[in-house]
C-alpha cells in the first residue's frame, strides 16, 4: 500500500509534533528535519520553544515527498523537480479552467442576446 493511500491519523488536529509525524511516516525525526532543509516548499511553523509544528498542509507535502523518495526511488533533486513540475501543471490547469469559464460566460451572454 502506498503512503498516498494510507490513513495516517484518526482525528485531524491543527498541529502535529515532529514525533507524531515521524511515527505516521515511520521515519526518524532527523530525516524530517533534513527534508525540511532540502524542500523549500515545506514551510513549518514553530512554537515559542522552537518546536516544529506540522499542519495538515505540511503532512500532505510530506506524503508526496515520502512517496517520491521512499516508494518511487527519486533522488532529492528529482523529487524537487517533480514537485515543481506538478505545481506548474496545477497552475496550468487553473489557467485553463479560468479561460474555459470566461468562454462559457461569453457564450452565455451571446446566447441571451439572440
Q: Inform me whether the pLDDT recorded for 94 exceeds 90.
A: yes
Rounded to an integer, the average pLDDT of 64-85 is: 95
Contact assessment for residue 29 and residue 19, using Cβ atoms and an 8 Å cutoff? yes
Give the pLDDT score at 109: 93
Q: Residue 94 — φ and ψ, nearest 5°?
A: -60, -40
pLDDT exceeds 70 at position 6 = no
Residue 31, pLDDT > 70, answer yes
Q: Which residue has the higher pLDDT, 78 or 6?
A: 78
Asked if the model's pLDDT at residue 9 lies above 80, the reply is no
Arithmetic mean of pLDDT over the chain = 91
Chain centroid, CA 56 distance in Å: 9
Cα–Cα distance between 22 and 55 in angstroms, integer? 13
On the question of pLDDT at 51 being above 90, the answer is yes
Query: What is the second-level CATH architecture of the domain 18-113?
Result: Orthogonal Bundle (1.10)
Matching residue, cell 512517496:
67
Over residues 20-24, mean pLDDT? 94
- 12 pLDDT band (50/70/90 cuts)? confident
Q: State the CB neighbour count (10 A cutoff) for residue 84.
A: 11
Amino acid at each position: 500500500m502506498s503512503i498516498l493511500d494510507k490513513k495516517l491519523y484518526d482525528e485531524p488536529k491543527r498541529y502535529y509534533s515532529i514525533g507524531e509525524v515521524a511515527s505516521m511516516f515511520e521515519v526518524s525525526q532527523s530525516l524530517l528535519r533534513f527534508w525540511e532543509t532540502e524542500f523549500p516548499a515545506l514551510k513549518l511553523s514553530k512554537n515559542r520553544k522552537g518546536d516544529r509544528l506540522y499542519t495538515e498542509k505540511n503532512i500532505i507535502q510530506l506524503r508526496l515527498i515520502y512517496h517520491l523518495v521512499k516508494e518511487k526511488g527519486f533522488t532529492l533533486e528529482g523529487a524537487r523537480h517533480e514537485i515543481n513540475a506538478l505545481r506548474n501543471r496545477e497552475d496550468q490547469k487553473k489557467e485553463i479552467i479560468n479561460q474555459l469559464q470566461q468562454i462559457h460566460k461569453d457564450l452565455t451572454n451571446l446566447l441571451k442576446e439572440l
